[in-house]
Chains A and B, each alone.
Chain A
């Protein structure tokens, strides 16, 4: 078997998929390190679930999916901020309530997609992604969004790290932790949106948490963990696209879902990282 089939890199959908995967993986990997450090995995997952309502809305209104997903995940982030509280247990509940309300909206919008617009495949694309069927211009948009997100993350990196590791110390240092937390949630909303473009709303948590959790086990400093997480994410995204391309012909006339391969690679990377650390 040839490593790269001749048509692989020349195919326009594949180029688009690789670009989207790269943008999503780089930003999610880097931002995910803070999500894991701040124990906000559930909040990140809740934002992804809420953003699915935006994806479904985009079908209905005929607007760009990027815009749809992003507007709703920002709305979710703001909702989390408004009803969120200090206590960790109550914070999980708030995430659960926001998630429930958002998914309720998704249920309605997906139903309307099918009945009004006749987009029968909307549920699958929104929830589990359809990377090879992404609109041609989306790759560039995702790449630009990832650049903006990485830039923003770089700007708040130092205070955010301090606040994530020791919020009392950060406050004593004059850092406005509340404002910083909101800024970080907005960045998280962008990361989740880009990942939803690649693997779908409910699987975007894989790119956010997996590479970051693996990198935190291997790297010795948070900055190194961010770089490593971005690279691991990139490996999973591109590897997933390549495997899905190969899978044509494994089962007759059927390409296996890209999202499945990306998720599987993320889990494999995490498992290997756990073993390396213990060994």
Chain B
């Protein structure tokens, strides 16, 4: 399990989990679950188009993820934001279906992009993974107070001169970058699940913000490591383990909270 060729996968899984556990805490705090699900899906056609045009996948992913941020920010003002988010999501998925079909690399590519290929990680994936694994937590910790304030007491934050829209854009931008980097490795599904599951569990276990953030990161790391180990041992896809382990962590946390006095 710890052979040299597996080393890259362990490092990348750790870094992705660091970024996802940290970003996930704010996703849960700000109630941005749907946006966090939509952004990796928005990035998805970028990978397909890059394949079609023969350019590096990261550029396609980054452009489409940031396009998704622009779409979401613009639609925030729509009458029904959740319906608008759903439409952005299907618009991008529809484009992805077309690009993949035209590039003739349909089924395998769909599977890899949605569910990830953590065991197929190579040395080339390391620099961007280090970028998000360190960059995302650092930026989020620097903005910890404004991000928390504006989510919990938006009115108070506004009177202190914190712009809700600007923070929102920064936050969605970080989610987009995380999605773009983690998508080919972890899959559009796995990134989202790794964000929401541990963070939602942590919120049920710990009330105070900073400890909850810590618990969220630890749970994300444990789930990512367990999923990688189980995928290696059983030969089954890692996405399956991430999805079920995240849900199990959340359910266990809910039960713990209900049973504790």
Contact = CB atoms under 8 A, between A and B. Distances in A.
A163 interface: no
Contact of B82 (A41, A111, A208, A263): A41
Contact of A97 (B85, B89, B90, B196): B196
B247 to A, nearest CB: 4
A202 B244 contact: no
Contacts of B242: 100, 104
Given A104-B247, A260-B97, A266 B193 contact: no
Interface residues of A, number: 58
A41 B86 contact: yes
Contact of B97 (A96, A101, A128, A205): A128
Q: Is the interface of A mostly helix, strand, loop or mixed?
A: helix
Given A100-B193, A103-B239, A128-B97, A203 B83 contact: no
Contacts, number: 180
Interface stretch (A66-74, A86-94, A172-180): A86-94
Contacts of A42: 33-34, 37, 82, 85-86
Interface residues of B, number: 52
Interface stretch (B2-10, B102-110, B123-131, B133-141): B102-110
A245 B110 CA distance: 23
A254 interface: yes
Contacts of A75: none
A96 B38 CA distance: 11
Given A42-B33, A203-B97, 9 more contacts: A96-B192, A96-B200, A100-B189, A100-B193, A103-B114, A210-B90, A257-B98, A260-B95, A263-B90
8 contacts: A42-B82, A97-B250, A99-B37, A103-B193, A123-B111, A202-B41, A209-B90, A213-B84
Interface of A: 36, 39-42, 44-45, 83, 88-89, 92-93, 95-108, 110-111, 114, 120-124, 127-128, 200, 202-203, 205-206, 208-210, 212-213, 217, 251, 254, 256-257, 259-260, 263-264, 266-267, 270
